[in-house]
Chain A
Amino acid sequence: MLENLYTTTRRRGGVAKILRLQAELDMWARSLPGGASSATAGDGSLESNTANDGAMAPTEASFEHSFLKVVLCIATIQVHRPALSFTSPDPQSTTSLHISKRASATLVKILAAGLEPADSESHLEGLLLSLLYPSGAHMLWQAGLTLLYAHWKLRLAVQSNADSSISSEPEDNETVQRCVLALRRLGDLTAEADSGHRLGQCADVLDMLRDKTFPQHLGTDNVTQEASAPRLVDGWDQVSWNVWDWPMESVLEFTNSMDVAPLDFFNSPGLT
């Protein structure tokens, strides 16, 4: 299902592929038991019914039910993430960003609820939810990063008057905090010094970014919020989605030629 979207030879037609895949996901979600479709509404609306969904610990919802919801969240993220790498601005990018953000928030809530202190049985199922494919520690961390990334992009869009919608910061701040705590908790449960350090380091990065993204003294004063929010650097394209503007420095440069595009990048014959 995702093969057409993640192909390396047919990079065009992404919008149509995403819409088709989202429609198939919606159909599949409707067939799930327990109304799991509320986790990720594919219509792009910000209205969400996830307030109670993600808070249910595995003992309250069955393990299988929670697992299916995790799969749905991750599938939704995988479907919409390519839109974030569009080389040119497109309305679908913003729509996908919203959907990815919502799915990531739901994913964090489900996994975090499973890792919070409870009896040993809950720990077991909570760990299984976090470790079984397609989930993983990397998905938990990236879900938290997606929430922050969405805020950076959407806040910049607000500043450029390109998009006036922005999600509630306190709720997202709290979700990212739960993500950080879940990562630390996962490190504690795995009980290996190196693993705990690695996960702890990842959690630290996320926590630092959260602190930079969400002002500590959130108030109703928009001026205060805007003054603390990340600002545009001079000369930077406000809605630059161009993926080929690589960062100045990255650990990826050690083994990768960051300036080289894949040869198949230009082999796309056209719309498929």
Chain B
Amino acid sequence: MSTQCSPCVSAGVVCIRSAKLQRNRKRKSFYENEGIEQRRTTTTSQTQGHSPSNPFPLQQDVSTSGTSVSPSNTIPELRPASATRSQTTGGRSHVSASGRKPTSEPIIGHMGRLVNDDQGVAMFAGTTTGVHFVSQAEQQVQMLRMNSAHSQFPSCVYSLHLHDLWGYTSRPPSDSESIRSIVSSLPLDAEAILLAAIERWTPIYPIMHKTTTIQAFRALVDESTPLTGESIVVLHQVLGLLALGSLGYQGHCTRDHYHFLCLSETHYSTSATILDKVLERPCLQTLQSLEIMQIYLQVSSRNTMASHFGGIATRLAQSLGLHRHSHRFRFDPLETELRRRVWWCQYSLDTYVFGIALDKLMLTIKLGSQAHTTACPVLFGTKMLTQTCPRALTTIYSPGPTLPFLCLVKAHR
């Protein structure tokens, strides 16, 4: 062996990795701590300050470093070694993740996964949905080589709990006319108001990505661009941003008072007419829209409504898997960062419900501080962050406008 694998290097043990690829073997499990423990006892002089009771300092480093995200913290240690294990014979006597303790105690190893719903949106399937059990069964089928023609289970078996048996969600949307009608009544300077609203609220609630939002808006108002299933959600986002961006404007109000909500209410009322359609499309964009609405409902003193929207939004955030660390999933850099920001925005919004109604506190008490593992959003702005922008390139940019928001996030953590 010319090189050692990174897990063994970090643990300070002799690497027994074999370069021989064995296609029919199981993929090497990074968490074979039994083997590492045995090798550590024979090379104690090579350990470098790692406690025997803690054979996975890398994982702890990752977990503790989750509070401060650095673009250089690419955490390569989480990726498995490229080579498969060298020994997979039945003679292995220790296949136990609990072997690191003198007394063997089984650990519950189930884990939730993302599965696509009927609309192709990735939804988090917790272990209570049975997704982990199904994957275990799939593993058994492959190990037993029960069906060589099709070794994988079809995706439908994993998302059966999300499947709409009656087909309502898969029907083509019938709201094109209403969307076009609402779009035609938008103010002429709507794009400017959107930009101003995003810039105004990003420092404390970086819910929206400016470039993506403006592009979606332009596509929405362009009559030559066909409407999609997400058009209704984009429209709801636009109306919410217009409501926030129109605070303090008179509009057509003729009353003699301080005009705070006069113009904003028109946009909010319009958004309320399409809310049911929006809720039928659970996705990240819908969650963003709900967060915008919560902010407006707060400033318009509709506290109960804000709390109710918060409940819907919180449940949706968990359904989308935003409460789980981004390394679990495969999203592009832009979506990864957006997911983090949207999660922490909702966390903040839910936390502040505490000041209104203690019994309605959901995330901060129900989940607890350890039940969500979402990393902090990044410090810099997302102007240059694209779907294909590698994480490493983001180190050159100066801190963006989200610094106040990050201060709030750290306070929550």
Q: A254-B330, A256-B114, A259-B79 are contacts. A244–B31 as well, Cβ < 8 Å?
A: yes
A192–B166 CB distance below 8 A? yes
A28 at interface, CB cutoff 8 A = no
The count of residues in chain A whose C-beta lies closer than 8 Å to any C-beta of chain B is 87
Which B residue's beta carbon lies closest to that of A213? B146
A142–B31 CB distance below 8 A? no
B146–A192 CB distance below 8 A? no
The distance from the CB of B312 to the nearest CB of chain A, in whole angstroms, is: 18
A262–B325 CB distance below 8 A? yes
B161–A138 CB distance below 8 A? yes
The distance from the CB of A221 to the nearest CB of chain B, in whole angstroms, is: 22
Q: A6-B126, A137-B160 are contacts. A250–B92 as well, Cβ < 8 Å?
A: no
B358 at interface, CB cutoff 8 A = no
Among candidates A131, A136, A237, residue contacting B160 with C-beta atoms closer than 8 Å: A136
The distance from the CB of A234 to the nearest CB of chain B, in whole angstroms, is: 8
Q: A192-B165, A192-B166, A246-B26 are contacts. A87–B98 as well, Cβ < 8 Å?
A: yes
B170–A194 CB distance below 8 A? yes
A105-128 interface code vs B (CB 8 A; 1 in, 0 out): 000000000000000000000000
Among candidates A12, A92, A235, A254, residue contacting B25 with C-beta atoms closer than 8 Å: A235
Q: Which 7 A-B pairs have the closest CB atoms?
A: A88-B96, A192-B167, A87-B97, A86-B106, A243-B109, A138-B160, A138-B161
A-B contact pairs, 18 of them (CB 8 A): A12-B105, A12-B107, A81-B133, A131-B165, A138-B160, A195-B166, A198-B156, A230-B146, A233-B24, A243-B111, A244-B32, A255-B122, A256-B328, A256-B330, A264-B371, A266-B56, A267-B370, A268-B107
Stretch at the interface among A47-55, A64-72, A199-207: A199-207
A58 at interface, CB cutoff 8 A = no
Chain B residues within an 8 Å CB radius of A103: none
Chain A residues within an 8 Å CB radius of B370: 8-9, 264, 267
By secondary structure, the B interface counts as loop
A259–B80 CB distance below 8 A? yes
Interface residues of A in 46-101 (CB under 8 A from B): 78, 81-90, 92-93
A209-250 interface code vs B (CB 8 A; 1 in, 0 out): 100110000000000000000111101111010111111111
Cα A266 to Cα B106 with chains together (Å): 13
Interface residues of B in 23-43 (CB under 8 A from A): 24-27, 29-32
What is the size category of the interface that chain B forms with chain A?
A: 35 or more
Which A residue's beta carbon lies closest to that of B116? A255
Among candidates B95, B130, B328, residue contacting A237 with C-beta atoms closer than 8 Å: B95
Beyond the given pairs A85-B110, A85-B136, 20 more chain A to chain B contacts, judged by CB atoms under 8 angstroms and listed by A's residue number, are A86-B107, A86-B109, A88-B97, A89-B96, A90-B106, A152-B144, A209-B147, A235-B90, A246-B135, A247-B138, A247-B142, A252-B114, A256-B328, A256-B330, A257-B328, A259-B79, A260-B79, A261-B31, A261-B78, A263-B63
Among candidates A233, A244, A256, residue contacting B29 with C-beta atoms closer than 8 Å: A244
B138, B160, B330 interface centre (most CB from chain A within 10 Å): B160
